[in-house]
Chains A and B, each alone.
Chain A
Amino acid sequence: MGVNTSSLQRTNEREVNSVHTLEQWRARLDSSKTSNKLMVIDFTAAWCGPCKFIEPAIQDLANEFPNVEFIKIDVDELPDVAKDFNVQAMPTFVLLKKGKDIDRVVGAKKDELHRMIEKHRY
């Protein structure tokens, strides 16, 4: 029928934005400080298997929680940010509210992350 199914599917999905520069990161952090919105930072790496494994689940969570902001940071692109948050293993999900680190999940643990988002989203 000439319809691109994958693009149709994508229109219903929220984008999990990748942050590539320190400038972008600072802008996100500043906006978090002035908002009550929960931010979930997915610290990932190019050759991290579990990070790829949990990617679809993160997309599901982003769709399920439209009021939560999801961003992705490659630790090799922004090592200083990873260091600031004391990220040691990937994936690490840091939950941020008003610019403050309030909780985290280390590893591809979708259910635990889901519980934590439920707990902190308001």
Chain B
Amino acid sequence: MRALPATTSYAVGIGGFSFTTTTSPRRLGFRRVVIAKAEPSDKSVEIMRKFSEQYARKSGTYFCVDKSVTSVVIKGLADHKDSLGAPLCPCRHYDDKAAEATQGFWNCPCVPMRERKECHCMLFLTPENDFAGKEQVIQSKLHISIKVLKKSTTVNL
């Protein structure tokens, strides 16, 4: 989907859905690729929220004082769970996401987290981290949805 050299790109986000239209310069009018970025499913968000709470307790880590960080990361994990079948870390860049998800190193909890409690995504923070809050629970699914929707409802034309 991304192989086309793009000269024009439009991203529209309305009510939790965003659409990206990319037009190839050489085939203007002939070829149009529409990439629809849906919000992750409620089911996956809920699974990742529960997982995050359980893993925070198990690992003795805490969520960020800024809960919007937690919310965004959980939604990113849920998005990867929906699209790749595994909660690949949303804070890293991969040449091949599907291959990475299969390989597993960066599936949450990633190897650096499991071995050294290092979470680059700031989802699981050790108590001494300056940005660690005091909570190991996330208020509700609704909290995640509202927080993220506020941030992601954008229209760029």
Residues of chain A touching chain B, judged by Cβ–Cβ distance below 8 Å, are 18, 20-23, 43, 45-53, 75, 77, 79, 82-83, 87-90, 107-108
B138-157: contact bitstring with A at CB < 8 Å (1 yes, 0 no)?
A: 00000000000001100010
Give Cα A34–Cα B122 distance, bound, in whole angstroms. 38
User: A18, A23, A46, A90: which contacts B6 (Cβ < 8 A)?
Assistant: A23
Nearest first, the 9 closest Cβ-Cβ pairs linking A and B are: A47-B76, A49-B69, A47-B90, A49-B73, A75-B93, A49-B72, A48-B91, A20-B9, A23-B7
Q: How large is the interface on B (under 10, 10 to 19, 20 to 34, 35 or more residues)?
A: 20 to 34
Option from B11, B121, B151 in Cβ contact (under 8 Å) with A50: B121
Taking CB as reference atom, which chain A residue is nearest B71? Answer: A49
- Chain B residues positioned under 8 Å from A20 (CB to CB): 9, 11, 156
Total cross-chain contacts (CB, 8 A): 84
- 7 CB contacts below 8 A, A to B, read A46-B90, A47-B72, A48-B76, A49-B72, A49-B76, A51-B91, A52-B151
**With a CB–CB cut-off of 8 A, which chain A residues contact B156?**
18, 20
Tell me if B2 counts as interface (CB < 8 A to partner A). Answer: yes
**In-complex Cβ contact of B72 among A43, A48, A88 (8 A):** A48
Q: Check if B44 is an interface residue, CB within 8 A of chain A.
A: no
- Interface 1/0s, chain B 69-103, versus A by CB < 8 A? 11011011101000000000011110100000000
Task: Tell me how far the C-beta of B98 lies from the nearest C-beta in chain A, rounded to whole angstroms.
Answer: 14
B5 at the interface (CB under 8 A from A): yes
Q: Is the CB of B120 within 8 A of A47?
A: no
Which A residue's beta carbon lies closest to that of B90? A47
Inter-chain contact A90/B72, CB cutoff 8 Å: no
Q: How many angstroms from the CA of A52 to the CA of B70 in the assembled complex? A: 10
Q: Do residues B76 and A90 form an inter-chain contact, with CB atoms below 8 A?
A: no
Give A108 to B76 CA distance when docked, in angstroms.
Answer: 17
Q: Which residues of A contact B68 (CB under 8 A)?
A: 49, 52-53
- A89-B122 Cα distance, complex, nearest whole Å: 12
How far is A82 from B20 in the complex, measured between Cα atoms in Å?
19
**CB-based contact A43/B122 at 8 Å:** no
Contact check, A47 vs B79: say whether CB atoms are below 8 A apart.
yes
Q: Look across to chain B and name the residue whose beta carbon is closest to the beta carbon of A108.
A: B122
| Bound: A75/B92 CA distance, A | 9
Residue of chain A at shortest CB distance from B73: A49
